[in-house]
Structure 1
Amino acid sequence: MANPLASLQPELWTASSNDALQIYVTENGAATSFKPNFTYPIFGDSETVFGYKDLVIFLCFDHCTFLPFLNVKYSEKLDDEDIVDPKSKLMEFLPDSTVFKDEGLWLEKTEEESQKFKIPGELVEGSEFTKEGEDYAVYKINLQSLEGEELHKRLQILVLLFIEAGSYIDSKDKLWDVHVLYKVTDRDTPSVAGFVTAYNYWKYPGCAKFDKGEEEVRMKISQFIILPNYQGLGLGGSLYNILYNHWRKEDRVVEIVIEDPNEQFDDLRDRCDLQTVHRELPGSLKISDITPEWYNKTRAQFKFEKRQFSRLLEMLLLHDGSNGKKNIRLFVKKRLYEKNKETLESLDQPTRLDKLQTAFESLEQDYRRILKPVKFKRSGDSVESSNKKQK
């Protein structure tokens, strides 16, 4: 039976799960803490926990092994069988290896794992780089190994906590790839800095290639996370560029796409891709040179989807300005018209022109926002910008 005091003062027994949950990453005796962006996949849409006073949930990870430690504290709890147990709810999303309450045991297991730790995967060729005196590298994790599967189980709760509408992937599906960004300044105990999941979507290559056994895939980035304690260092752009360049070199990969990106990741990708296209295309792109044949051939070389490549060309034309404002405006409006042809043709001409102009002005404003922090250069792979922290 519910405690009658709770019905009189429910606010005293209700805690925001976003505030109650405190996430830590520990390294060499020090801990970095941060809050989750979301907890509704675990605690429900209201993101609250009822039935406790002074609720605090500690979720800690070792920087190297990412072994989780969970502790739940509160000053009082209602005597009600319907009260949700925070430990039980979180354990539904954490691996069995998670240590609960016993911090000494967690430290002991962390030390034991760290001494024999080896990254369960292969170094991505050309992925080693240095930022602000720290060394980093990207590894493709072997999900078919016990160690690789366990590492992914430990990492995946971050998807729920930091990606809106994020969900767990089926790691048993061999078409999933997981890449982890490590800080490797200390090669013996590398630190997890972020990770990416991507799916190999099979694409029919045509009769001739199919008969020869040639494979084609669309590589779709599904989840992209830089840990909060590593954000603001430009690591997201570096990680994206490394994977893009890696997949671009693979003959079987014909297109690199993103699944439902949020605005922050969209901006990051746009700025990275702008650098790539600007670096490789002629110094001054002429609208007259953008024929259907040139467009299809060049897009295939970059392995961008159509919408992304069109937007990149439009931003570069706007940035360069040498084609003239009117020509650029007409070039962009032509694409907008073709994209929305069915709807626009049902309108009278003045309304249609007004709609196109409004759409162009909105798009131009967004393009200039994206372009503003980018410092274009002709060599090097990094993006110099004041990007917001990505997801």
Structure 2
Amino acid sequence: MAHEIGLGRNVSETPEEPSAAQSYCCYPAELKMAVTNGMSIAGNKFEGFKCNATDAIEFKLVRHEPDIFDDSKVFHPDMTHQLESIFGYKDLKVQIYCSAARMITYVNVAYSAKIDPEQYDGVKADDILGLLSKHLQPGFLTNRDAFISQLTKDKTFKPFGELVHSYTTTREDKQLEFEVYKTDIEAIGFRDFHERIQPFLLFFVDAASYIDVDDDRWDYYLLFEKYREAGTTIYAFAGYMTVYNYYAYPEKIRPRISQVLVMPPFQRQGHGATLIQTFYNSCYNRHDILDITVEDPSENFQRVRDFVDCKNCMRLPSFQPEELHQGFSEKMRLETREKLFINRKQARRIYEILRLRATNMANKEQQRGYRLDIKKRLNSPFQKNGRDFQKLKRALEPTELAATLNNLSVEQRMEYLEKHYEEVITEYRAVIERLATNVD
């Protein structure tokens, strides 16, 4: 799954970690219920020891020693499926700090109180370091002085692989430089570096899992901020993207974007779109590519992908306003496939976004033509016996899903179409708003 930011499901699955309740299987059933629900026979005596992992975990990208003590540098995970809630502590902070360039990891667990098994029926606190050790690279640091001593080595860090793109952005009136590198797992030192950065996927990309790095069909695109300090050029890791090169019969490949991660301090600055476009640019002059696909894209990633594809398609003759009002055409499909390696499904989506952009919704004829065109496509699952069943599953109530697609009433179909149409338009307008301020 792709995303910004993120992106995607991969070839292997991360084993599910036990929850706090599952950890206490050796205790009586009523005690397990007490721990799980924060209730005991005596009352709420366990409630104060339950911690929300999303709030407790604090990340930092550390460039200098003072950053360790600067709370403004903290960012929290978007998701904590691997830990859920943490039991046994009060005022818990799980500090996961990484050196900004080499991503050397330091973990510190701080709290005001820890549950005493002798006073609480033998119930023990979760082993936080033990849980994290299943996801972080082996050998992460737990001594702050040892971590501080590593920071100076970041100044000698050089990115892996080949420089494929460089650009500047403006943030808070400052010019910032960024570089994108392409590498493979065989680059000296990159395997260890990848082990240090991939755990962030679990915290910031929904349903993410680790990839099989021993498969040589993976390409890696790494994003770094480049800056100078005391006359020295220094790099800070900002994000990365993985691409898997599938074989396409008889002699082509079908690259699939699998994961996109932009680190939170660098998000909403256009870097995800730049990573994708940099990859696209490397494909355009190749003759061995059939098309470019994305693995199970998240909603966030799909918006970024749509934005990039729209910008590219707007330059094509077949996507000019006068053509868009005539409907989706074979010319559009061929031009996007041959020039941009966009598959038919995504090409149709881009057509719908750009036609909405070119439609005067105050013009009843244009508005009606657009609405009918979109609803005709949305109605196709009913006509094709459920190829789009998963969309129906998300849109309809469980009681409505009790019937098969063929047995849905006319009223149910109309309700689905109207609801889905409004959702689609909302998604498209978000892309159009971004195009309004970012088109070259």
Compute the TM-score of the two structures, normalised by the length of structure 1: 0.82
Tell me: higher relative CO, structure 1 or 2? Use CA pairs within 8 A at least 6 residues apart.
2
Q: Select which of 41, 46, 64 maps to 1:28.
A: 64
Residues 1:225 and 2:261 aligned together: yes
What is the CA–CA distance in structure 2 between the aligned matches of 1:223 and 1:261, rounded to whole Å?
9
The alpha carbon displacement at 1:84 in A equals 2.4
Q: Select which of 299, 303, 306 maps to 2:341.
A: 303
- Gaps in structure 2 of 5+ consecutive residues: 1-25, 68-72, 387-404
The alpha carbon displacement at 1:328 in A equals 3.4
Residues 1:130 and 2:168 aligned together: yes
User: For residue 150 of structure 2, what is the aligned residue in structure 1?
Assistant: 109
User: For residue 212 of structure 2, what is the aligned residue in structure 1?
Assistant: 170
User: For residue 106 of structure 2, what is the aligned residue in structure 1?
Assistant: 69
- Gaps in structure 1 of 5+ consecutive residues: 206-213, 381-391
User: For residue 202 of structure 1, what is the aligned residue in structure 2?
Assistant: 247
Letter paired with 1:119: P
1:16-165 counterparts in 2 under 5 A?
16-31=52-67, 32-41=73-82, 43=83, 47-77=84-114, 78-79=116-117, 80=122, 83-100=125-142, 102-111=143-152, 113-124=153-164, 127-132=165-170, 133-165=175-207
What is the CA–CA distance in structure 2 between the aligned matches of 1:315 and 1:291, rounded to whole Å?
15
Letter paired with 1:174: D
User: For residue 398 of structure 2, what is the aligned residue in structure 1?
Assistant: none
Q: RMSD in angstroms over aligned alpha carbons?
A: 3.1
Residues 1:368 and 2:405 aligned together: no
Q: Select which of 275, 284, 306 maps to 2:321.
A: 284
Q: Select which of 319, 324, 338 maps to 2:366.
A: 324
What is the CA–CA distance in structure 1 between the aligned matches of 2:438 and 2:80, rounded to whole Å?
41
What is the CA–CA distance in structure 2 between the aligned matches of 1:247 and 1:317, rounded to whole Å?
27
What is the CA–CA distance in structure 2 between the aligned matches of 1:50 and 1:351, rounded to whole Å?
48
The alpha carbon displacement at 1:70 in A equals 0.9
What is the CA–CA distance in structure 2 between the aligned matches of 1:203 and 1:238, rounded to whole Å?
26
CA contact (8 A) 1:333 1:356 kept: no
The alpha carbon displacement at 1:332 in A equals 3.2
What is the CA–CA distance in structure 2 between the aligned matches of 1:369 and 1:312, rounded to whole Å?
13
Q: Deviations over 1:331-359 (max 9, x none)?
A: 43443344542249957997698468625
CA contact (8 A) 1:278 1:376 kept: no
User: For residue 386 of structure 1, what is the aligned residue in structure 2?
Assistant: none
Would the alpha carbon gap of residues 256 and 75 (structure 1) be closer, same or farther in structure 2, given more than 3 Å must change?
same
3-state SS of paired residue (1:40): coil
3-state SS of paired residue (2:95): strand
Stretch moving more, 342-351 or 366-375: 342-351
What is the CA–CA distance in structure 2 between the aligned matches of 1:71 and 1:110, rounded to whole Å?
17
The alpha carbon displacement at 1:61 in A equals 0.4
Q: Deviations over 1:194-247 (max 9, x none)?
A: 111221121113xxxxxxxx4x22222222111111123222222222222223
CA contact (8 A) 2:157 2:235 kept: no
Letter paired with 1:121: G
3-state SS of paired residue (2:275): helix
Letter paired with 1:48: S
Letter paired with 1:321: T
CA contact (8 A) 1:279 1:377 kept: no
User: For residue 387 of structure 1, what is the aligned residue in structure 2?
Assistant: none
What is the CA–CA distance in structure 1 between the aligned matches of 2:332 and 2:110, rounded to whole Å?
63
CA contact (8 A) 1:65 1:114 kept: yes
What is the CA–CA distance in structure 2 between the aligned matches of 1:153 and 1:233, rounded to whole Å?
26
What is the CA–CA distance in structure 2 between the aligned matches of 1:351 and 1:51, rounded to whole Å?
52
User: For residue 241 of structure 1, what is the aligned residue in structure 2?
Assistant: 277
- Paired positions, count: 361
User: For residue 315 of structure 1, what is the aligned residue in structure 2?
Assistant: 353
What is the CA–CA distance in structure 2 between the aligned matches of 1:173 and 1:272, rounded to whole Å?
28
Would the alpha carbon gap of residues 284 and 72 (structure 1) be closer, same or farther in structure 2, given more than 3 Å must change?
same
Compute the TM-score of the two structures, normalised by the length of structure 2: 0.73
The alpha carbon displacement at 1:315 in A equals 1.7
Would the alpha carbon gap of residues 352 and 232 (structure 1) be closer, same or farther in structure 2, given more than 3 Å must change?
closer
The alpha carbon displacement at 1:65 in A equals 0.8
The alpha carbon displacement at 1:166 in A equals 1.1
What is the CA–CA distance in structure 1 between the aligned matches of 2:113 and 2:59, rounded to whole Å?
22
Stretch moving more, 189-198 or 321-330: 321-330
What percent of counterpart residues are identical? 25
User: For residue 298 of structure 2, what is the aligned residue in structure 1?
Assistant: 262
What is the CA–CA distance in structure 1 between the aligned matches of 2:80 and 2:104, rounded to whole Å?
20
CA contact (8 A) 2:65 2:151 kept: no
What is the CA–CA distance in structure 2 between the aligned matches of 1:30 and 1:269, rounded to whole Å?
37
The alpha carbon displacement at 1:182 in A equals 0.5
The alpha carbon displacement at 1:330 in A equals 4.1
The alpha carbon displacement at 1:119 in A equals 1.3
CA contact (8 A) 2:65 2:148 kept: no
What is the CA–CA distance in structure 2 between the aligned matches of 1:90 and 1:352, rounded to whole Å?
47
What is the CA–CA distance in structure 2 between the aligned matches of 1:356 and 1:93, rounded to whole Å?
41
